[in-house]
Amino acid sequence: MSDFFANFTARNPEWLTEAGPFSDVALSTRARLVRNLPDFPFPHHASDVELETILADMSRRLSRLPAFSDGWDVGFADLEAVQRRALQEKLLASFRLVSRPTSRGLLLSRDLSRAAMINEEDHLRLHAFRPGFDPQGTLASIMALDEELEQEVESAFSPEWGYLTASPTNLGTGLRLSALLHLPGLVLVGEIEKVLNALRQLQFSVRGLFGEGSAVRGALFQISNLITLGRDEAEITDDFQVHLGKIITYERSARDQLYGRDHLGIEDMVHRSWAVLANARVITAQEAFDCLSNIRLGVSLGLLPAVEPGRLNQLTVQQQTAHLELEVGRALSGRDKGASRAALLREFFAA
């Protein structure tokens, strides 16, 4: 694992480096499957011994899958806290996993496009990531992983309820699709609440960058289906494709409307944001998220020099504290943190 963290900042999943479909609005699409073992209690009811047994058994078996055989078994409980937080900042590990690491596991494919969390809310949570907005491609990726899994692991399944899960909200397919969308246009024209409420009524969940309960930063929204039961994977994916496709269209038209209504105000905002990142000597994560968001908007409107979306994605992730600390090799106090962040951003934007 020392290999893995030695070069962690530059070790990026494809969605952080490549453009995908609708990259002007969508950073990534994620698919998640929930699976549990029939012979053990769910993690929140399992004893320490049972959790350790599950972890050892699952780690061994998952390592044999083609997806993970040349990848990384992250040995989650043995990591330093900063390493766990950095994995969360890259969206490779959940908050739940990071905050309770004992007897938890994380396996990653070599290219970081697939992940398996052991003893999170369920015995097993599989993730697949794709750049941009790509529900079909992401579904194909997670289903291929699920097929590999079926060769090694028999999951708890009921003919009536489908896959059994620790929380009833995940019963059935256990499939959750999420898209990480950048919606500054809807925020700035004041339509965001209306759009998000409509999504909630359609049984989608809307959360911040780091999932449940996390604050929205830099106009980045995680949008996921809530319904996993009573429809098959293809129906869930079609539904997701249709409704989130509409949000992307709304966002694009909000940006045009915004620029038509107040081009000077938008130009002012995006140029100031670039100037701040090119010149600040100290900056908070919140301000950096916001400036990067404004710059992403400015690039998409053609008001700023072209920057690949991948570069903005990476800076959005790398400016976070655990990434900064791994990069400098030590814990950072408040002021040092802001200074390291500013230096990272200046290096790119002042160039």
CB of 345 to its own copies, least distance (A): 12
Q: State yes or no: residue 45 binds its own copies (CB under 8 A).
A: no
Nearer to its own copies, 56 or 275 (CB): 275
> Contact 179/29 with Cβ under 8 angstroms?
yes
Map residue 115 onto helix, strand or coil.
strand
Name the one range near its own copies by CB under 8 A: 85-93, 97-105, 179-187, 259-267.
259-267
Q: Which of 235, 268, 308, 347 binds its own copies (CB under 8 A)?
A: 268
| Rounded (to 5) percent helix, strand, coil in the chain | 50, 15, 35
Is residue 232 a contact point for its own copies (CB under 8 A)? no
Nearer to its own copies, 1 or 275 (CB): 275
Region of 18-26, 77-85, 231-239, 280-288 interacting with its own copies (CB under 8 A) = 280-288
Give the residue, chosen from 46, 144, 156, 282, that forms a contact with its own copies under the rule CB under 8 A: 282
One of 189, 278, 285, 328 touching its own copies (CB under 8 A): 278
The residue (of 150 and 262) whose beta carbon lies closer to its own copies is 262
Whether residue 177 contacts residue 190, with contact meaning beta carbons closer than 8 Å, is answered with no
Q: Kindly report the number of other CB atoms within 10 A of residue 11's CB atom.
A: 17
Does 227 help bind its own copies (rule: CB under 8 A)? no
Cα–Cα dist 100/98, whole Å: 6
SS (H, E, C) 23-61: CCCEEEEEEEEEECCCCCCCHHHCCHHHHHHHHHHHHHH
Q: Are 33 and 174 in contact (CB under 8 A)?
A: yes
C-alpha 271, offset from chain centre: 28
Q: How far is the CB of 263 from its own copies (least distance, A)?
A: 9
Residue 335 lies near its own copies (rule: CB under 8 A): yes
SS3 215: coil
40 neighbors 123 (Cβ within 8 angstroms)? yes
Asked whether position 267 contacts its own copies by CB under 8 A, the answer is: yes
Nearest distance, CB of residue 346 and its own copies, angstroms: 9
Could you tell me which stretch among 83-91, 149-157, 173-181, 335-343 binds its own copies (CB under 8 A)? 335-343
Binding site for its own copies (CB under 8 A): 264-265, 267-268, 271-272, 274-276, 278-283, 335, 339, 342
